[in-house]
Structure 1
Amino acid sequence: MTKFSDLQLDPRVLTAIAEAGYETPTPIQAEAIPPALEGRDVLGIAQTGTGKTASFTLPMITRLANGRARARMPRSLVLAPTRELAAQVAENFDTYTKHLKLTKALLIGGVSFKEQDALIDRGVDVLIATPGRLLDHFERGKLLLTGVQIMVVDEADRMLDMGFIPDIERIFQLTPFTRQTLFFSATMAPEIERITNTFLSNPVRVEVARQATTSSTIEQKLITFTPSRKDRSFGEKRAMLRALIQDEGEACSNAIIFCNRKMDVDVVAKSLKAHGFNAAPIHGDLEQSQRMKTLDAFRDGELRFLVASDVAARGLDIPAVSHVFNFDVPSHAEDYVHRIGRTGRAGRQGKAFTIAVPADDKYLANIESLIKQPIPRGEAPAVEFDDSPDRGEHRQPRSRHSSRDRGPRRDQHRAEPPRTEAPRPEVEAEAPPPRREEPRREPRRDDRRDRRRDDGPSPAGMGDHVPDFILRSFARVAALETAEDVAE
C-alpha cells in the first residue's frame, strides 16, 4: 500500500502531514501527486470528498519550497467557485506549510480590497481566489499574472453551473503559456472538455470512480406525503420537517437541511426560528462575514440547524453532523449522494431523511438508479396541518390569482357607461329658468386670420397657427415694401 513517504514530497511537508494524522493517500492523491511533482499537467476527475484538495496542495508546496515571490506577481494560483471552498483551500495550505516560509493571500468577496491589496503588494507564493474577485483586482491594476508557474482550477463543474467559464478562459489567457495546470472536475461537460483541450498540454488523466454508492454508516429514510392543496405544499413540508426533528429528539444533536433554492433557504430558516429551533441560513447571496460566522457557529456547536443550498455547502468538511434533511429532493442525482455524505463521516453513524411529494417521483427514480438500490421508505409522522393560508413561498401566486379575479371587475366597471337617473319632479320644479345665451365673440384666432388677410400675404409654411408677433413683423415688412413701391 502506498504511503505519503513514498511520494517524494518535501520532508517538511511530510512532517506536517504526519502531524495532521495522515499516513495513507487516497486513490486520487496517490495517482495525481507523482505527475504533478514532475511538472506535468494533470486532469483529475473525482467527486468532492475524495481528498483532491491535498492532491494539488502537497505537490504545489513541494515545488514552491524554493524561490521567492515578487510584489503583485504571485507564483501560483488556485481558483475555487465559492468563498467557502476558497477559504477551505487556504486552511489546507496553512496546515501543510507550517514548517515552510511560504506566503499566501485569499481573494474573495465580502473582504476589503485594501487589506487584500496590502497582501498582494508584499508578494505571495500562493494566491487563492474566486474568479470574480481575481479579475476585479486585475482590472484595478493591482495584480499581474505573468509570474504564475502553477495554476489550479478546482470544482470546474460547479464553476460551469455558476457561469464562471468565460472568466476562467480569460484568466488562462492572462497567465504564461509555460505554466503547469492542474484541473479538477466531477464531470466532463462539453464546455469543460473544450477548455482542457485548449489550455492543457498533454495532461495526465486521473479518473477516480464517481461516488455512486452511499455509506453503510448512514441510515436513509424517504418520507412521502401528498399535500392537501398545491398552494399549501410548501407550508405542509415545513410542518413535516419540524415533526421529523421533534421525533428524533436529542439524537439529532445537529443537522444540515438542504433546499434547492436560495429563497427557500431563507424561508425555512425563518420558519424554524419562529417555532423555537436554533437555525440559520447559508447561501450565496449572504455577506461573506455572515456566512463565515454561521459556519463557525455550526462547527463550534453554537448553532444546531444549518439550512443550506447546494452551492454554499459544496465541498465543506464539517465533522460530526448527526443528521441531514433533504427538504427538497435534489434535481441532480449525484447531489443526493453528496448531501447525505455530510453525515456518517469517519466511521460515525448518521441519519438522512428526504421529504418528497408526488412531483418528485422522476428525481427519486434517477437517484435510485444511480445508487443501485431503493431508498428505504419511512413512516411519516402525524402532523396537524394548519388550514390558514401559507405565508411562505405561495403568497405571491395567491395574490396573483386574487388580482386576476379583481381585474375583470375593474375592466367591467370601466367599460360600463355612466348611469343617469331621471330627474325627480320636485327638482324640475325648483330648477331655475335657462339663461338667454348671448352671441359669442369670435375667437381671437379668427381675428388674427382676418387681420392677416388684410395686412398682407401669409408667411410661407406657417399655416393658420401663427403667433401675433410674427404676424406683426410680416405686416410691418409688407407695409414698408408697399411704401417703397409707392415712392418708386
Structure 2
Amino acid sequence: MNAKPPAPGRSDAGGHHPARQDDTPVSSAPATGLPPVASFDALGLPAELVARMTALGVTEPFPIQAATLPNALAGHDVLGRARTGSGKTLAFGLALLARTAGLRAEAKRPLALVLVPTRELAQQVGDALEPYARTLNVRLATVVGGLSINRQQAALRAGVEVLIATPGRLTDLVSRRDCFLNQVRITVLDEADQMCDLGFLPQVSDLMAQVRADGQRLLFSATLDRNVDQLVKDHLHDPVLASVDRVAGSVATMEHHVLNIHGADKYATATEIAARDGRVLMFLDTKAGVDQFTRHLRASGLRASGLHSGKSQPQRTHTLAQFKNGEINVLVATNVAARGIHIEALDLVVNVDPPADAKDYLHRGGRTARAGEAGKVVTLVTPDQRRDVNRLMSEAGIRPTVTQVRSGEATLSAITGAKRPPTGPKQATGNAPFRGMGTRPGRPAKESRKTADARKAAEARAAARVRKGR
C-alpha cells in the first residue's frame, strides 16, 4: 500500500467508524457516520459552482453525493458504491473540480486524473463536468482510443488540469512522453470493476504507480467485488466507504420481467417490442447479431441503429446522439452500451439475448430507471435458457415477474407496449429473417445433409441447362 500522510483536516477522531455498511468484500473500509445533506449549499462547495448548479437545476444531492462529497472535499480517500444512474459522476467530479480550482497545470502534466473503462463513459463524464469546469476556469481534456491522438497530444501540450482517460490510450501517451503523471494529486477510478473485468488491471496499476504517492484516490463503481480488492489494498489509504445501495439492482422504480417464449418466436417477439411507441434499448450477444437484427428492423420500417465495438468512435458517438435526440427509436447493442451511457427518460431495456452473468444484467438494466425515473427491464428466455436465467436472477438479487408470451398477444403489448411493425420489404414472422443462423444471431447453423444434397442437385440441373443451351 502506498504510504500517504493524512489529508488536511483529517484526524483519528474524524467521525469514522469501523463498522461496515454492507457485505462488500473490500478490506479495511471504514464507513462514514455523516448525517444526510439536504442541499449542496451545506457542503462547502465554491459559491460560483453552487450558483451554476442551481442555474442548471441541480439543487438537491443524490444519496451517493451526500454520502461522499464532504469526505472527498476534505481530501480523504473514498470508496463509493451506488447503482448506475445514481449520480456518481458529480459525486467525484464536484470534489475534484473544487479542489483543483485556482491551480494551473504545466504542459503535459495534469493535476487530476479520471480513469474510466470505455470511450462512451469518458465522453459522458466529460460532458457532465464541462459546464462546472468552465465556471471554475478548470481545463478539461478527454483522451480515448478511436479518436485522433494528434489532437489529444496538442491538448496535453497546451496544459490541462483534469484529464479523463481510458487506460489504453493514456498508456500510449505516457509511453510517447506526451503525458507525465507525477503531478497528479487527485485520481478517480470510475467503474473500476469493469476495468478489471476487461483486463485493464495491469495498466491501471502501472498508471497508479506513476501518480503522486501522497495524492487523493476516489474509487466509484456500481459494484465493488473482489476484482477490485487489489486496487484498494495497493492504492487507497484508509478509505471512507459509502454504499448507498445494498443490492445494485434493487431500485424501487424499476420493474423486472422474464418473458418465456418459444425459440422459433424469439425475433418476431423482439421485433414487435422494437415497434413500440417510445425508445427502447435492446441487447444482443454478438456484433454480427446486432448488425443482422438492425438490418431486419430497418427493413421492417423501424428507425433503428446498432452499437458495438466494431464500429468507429465517430460512428458510435453519432449513433448515441441520434438515440438521445429521438432520430432513432431503437438502439441495438452489445454490452458496450451496458455502462457509461445515460439516456434521459429511457423506460425500457430488453435483453433479446440474456446476459452472461448477474453483473452484466445489473449494468444493462441500469440504463433505465435512472435518477429516480421509472423503467422496465425485460429478458426474453427460451426453454433451454431458463435454468441459467433463474440462477442469474438469484445472484443479482432480483425476483422478476415471469410470464409466458407469444408474439401478437395482448399480454406482450401490456408489458412492453409491443405492436405490429410497419409493413416493410422483408416483413416476416417467427425467425424468418434469421433462418440459416444458430440460436443466436451471428452464429451460423450447420447445413443438414438433406439440404446440402438438394442444393447440389439443383446446381447440377442448372449447369446441365446451361450446357444444353450452348
Deviation at 1:93, TM superposition (A): 1.5
Question: Any gaps of 5 or more consecutive residues in structure 1?
Answer: 229-235, 407-488
1:224–1:355 contact (8 Å) kept in structure 2: yes
> Which of the residues 241, 263, 268 maps onto 2:288?
263
Tell me by how many angstroms 1:199 deviates.
Answer: 1.3
Residue 238, structure 1, aligned to residue 285, structure 2: no
Paired position in structure 1 for 2:445: 398
C-alpha displacement of 1:219: 5.2
Q: How many residues align?
A: 395
In structure 2, distance between residues paired with 1:221 and 1:62: 42
Say yes or no: does 1:161 pair with 2:197: yes
- Counterpart in the other structure of 2:161: 125
> How much does 1:49 deviate?
1.6
Deviation at 1:215, TM superposition (A): 4.7
Give the aligned partner of residue 102 of structure 1: 138
Q: How does 1:418-457 map to 2 (within 5 A)?
A: none
Summarize the Cα distance change of 1:10–1:347 in structure 2 as closer, same or farther, 3 Å threshold: closer
Q: Is the 8 A contact 2:193 2:227 kept in 1?
A: no
The answer on 1:186 being equivalent to 2:222 is yes
Alignment partner, residue 333 of structure 1: 358
Q: 1:196 to 1:386 in 2, by over 3 A?
A: closer
Q: 2:430 aligns with which of 385, 390, 409?
A: 385
Q: Distance between the aligned counterparts of 1:291 and 1:389, measured in 2? A: 25
Counterparts of 1:207-286 in structure 2, within 5 Å, are 207-212=243-248, 215=251, 217-218=253-254, 220-227=256-263, 236-246=265-275, 248=276, 252-286=277-311
1:131 to partner: Cα distance: 0.4
| Structure-2 residue corresponding to 1:375 | 401
Determine the C-alpha separation between the residues in 2 that align with 1:187 and 1:325: 21
Q: Report % sequence identity.
A: 36
- Shift of the 270–71 alpha-carbon distance from structure 1 to 2, 3 Å rule, reads same
Counterpart secondary structure, 1:256: strand
The structure with the greater share of residues assigned to helix is 1
Amino acid across the alignment from 1:398: A
| AA of the residue aligned to 1:49 | G
**Residue of structure 2 equivalent to 1:65:** 101
> Paired residue for 1:423?
none
Q: Name the residue aligned to 1:150.
A: 186
Q: Is the 8 A contact 1:214 1:341 kept in 2?
A: no
* Deviates further, 350-359 or 116-125: 350-359
* Larger Cα-atom Rg: 1
CA drift of 1:306 comes to 0.3
Aligned CA-pair RMSD: 2.7
Q: Deviations over 1:365-386 (max 9, x none)?
A: 2354344534241532249436
Unaligned runs of 5+ in 2: 1-35, 409-427, 454-470
Tell me: CA distance 1:347–1:184, structure 2 relative to 1, closer, same or farther (3 Å): closer
Secondary structure of 1:366's match?
Answer: helix
Q: Counterpart in 1 of 2:81?
A: 45
C-alpha deviation, 1:21, in angstroms:
1.1
Q: Structure 1, residues 348-378: CA drift from partner, whole Å, max 9, x if none?
A: 5544432111122133323543445342415
2:10 alignment counterpart = none
Deviation at 1:275, TM superposition (A): 2.3
State the distance in 1 between where 2:443 and 2:236 align.
48
CA change 1:338–1:189 in 2 (3 A) is: closer
Query: 1:26 — aligned with what?
Result: 62
Instruction: Give the corresponding residue for 1:483.
Output: none
Closer, same or farther: CA 402–62 of 1 in aligned 2, 3 Å: farther
Deviation sequence 1:178-203 (CA, Å, 0-9, x none)? 22111123333334111211111222
TM-score by length of 1: 0.74
Q: In structure 2, do the counterparts of structure 1 residues 397 and 372 end up closer, same or farther at CA, with 3 Å as the change threshold?
A: closer
TM-score using structure 2 length: 0.77
Aligned residue number for residue 356 of structure 1: 381
Deviation of the 1:220 alpha carbon:
4.7
Does the alignment pair 1:365 with 2:426? no
Cα offset for 1:6? 0.8
Q: Is the 8 A contact 1:215 1:341 kept in 2?
A: no
User: Relative to structure 1, is the Cα distance of residues 93 and 110 closer, same or farther in structure 2, using a 3 angstrom cutoff?
Assistant: same
Distance in 2, Cα, partners of 1:320 & 1:337: 18
SS at match of 2:83: coil
